[in-house]
Amino acid sequence: MLDKRSYQIDVNYMIPHRGEAQTVSSYSITVDGSTIVSQLPYVGQAWSIPYGGGTGLNFKGNIDSYEDKGFQKDCRTIVLGVKNDEDSYVYTLNVYDNGTVYINVSCRNRDSINYNGKFCLASPQE
């Protein structure tokens, strides 16, 4: 599914740059071809965002860049870039053989944040 760029990652743990790590539920990232649907909680400092906080990491956008760095030991790394009206983002996904995923999201106008999750075997279209 990584090769087809059609997958979902269910996020279960949030690790902000500032503040305490915490368990979360009902959050995910879905990649479908050249589109990403990011539904992630965000805690951290922001420098230049719309009044009221904007959409944060909850948006649907076009993937501007997608790089599969391949396998190193038991991990495959995917780096994808996305821009929207609020910010530009780099999602780094470290997908392990056991299905665990470590995610780092770097933003231009916000603190970076990390997440842990689980790779879903079913395609988001199924």
% of the chain at pLDDT higher than 90 = 59
pLDDT, one tens digit per residue, over 17-29 is 888 899 999 999 9
Instruction: Tell me the domains of the chain and their CATH numbers.
Output: 6-120 (2.40.128.410)
The arithmetic mean of pLDDT across residues 119-123, rounded, is 67
Residue 41 CA, distance from chain mean position: 11
- List 29's β-bridge partners, or say none: 9, 38
Q: How far, in Å, are 3, 71, 81, 92, 103 from residue 28 at the CA level?
A: 19, 23, 17, 14, 11
Count how many residues are written for the chain: 126
Task: Sort strands 22-32 and 57-72 into parallel, antiparallel or unpaired.
Answer: unpaired
Q: Spell out the residues 6+ positions from residue 112 whose beta carbon is closer than 8 angstroms to its own.
A: 17, 44, 104, 105, 106
Instruction: Tell me the per-residue pLDDT of 61-97, one tens digit each, with 9 for 90 and over.
Output: 999 999 998 888 889 999 999 998 888 999 999 999 9
Can you tell me which residue has the tokens 């279209």? 125
pLDDT tens column, 37-58: 999 998 877 777 667 667 778 9
